[in-house]
Amino acid sequence: MNCWKTVNFSRDYGPQRLFILSSLTMLLTFIFIYVPAQYLFAAASLSDKHFLLFLAALLAIYPLHKLLHFLPMIHQRKKIKKELLFKYSIIPVFYVKVNEPMPKRLFLTALLTPFVVINCAILLACYSFGQYVHYFTILLAFHMGLCLHDLICAKNVVSAPNQSYIEESEDGIEILLHTHS
């Protein structure tokens, strides 16, 4: 296989820039979503009950996000390194690393599954529980910030040829093409 393109997130974007872009994404998402969501979904009054449940959901989004990356690839579990760690003794962090190149479509599916599933669930919750729309828009904004890295990666992968393979490296991804000898 030949390398068609290398995306090095540390070199191309830098961790500080990614953090700033992610933070701005969270802020802008909240600003642009809160007013329309409150208008469309909110009940007569907002409720601040169940704040601890909101905090638990906020802590659960990241591990759930990582788990949803893994689910489309579950049939290839031998090619994937999985590890569950607890940061600060309470926050579960699920690491998923693919050891072998995987087809472009499967990689894109795994990359975008958390974006689609979690965001749709949050929007459905806004509709179902309008009195908590403020909590759900915060959760949506937080999740959009988490998804920024995935969306940048997907932007690079989408432009690759259809029959390409994606391999993860320490600092990013490599897009590979199968060569015929």
What is the predicted pLDDT for the residue at 31?
94
How far apart CA 6 and CA 168 sit, in angstroms, is 10
**pTM (global) more than 0.85:** yes
Helices (H), 83-180: 104-128, 133-158
Over residues 93-142, the pLDDT tens digits come to: 777 777 788 999 999 999 999 999 999 999 999 889 888 999 999 999 99
What is the predicted pLDDT for the residue at 78?
77
What is the predicted pLDDT for the residue at 64?
92
C-alpha distances out from residue 43 to 37, 39, 141, Å: 11, 9, 20
Residues of the chain whose pLDDT is less than 50? none
Query: What residue ranges do the domains of the chain occupy?
Result: 22-74+103-160
How far apart CA 64 and CA 97 sit, in angstroms, is 16
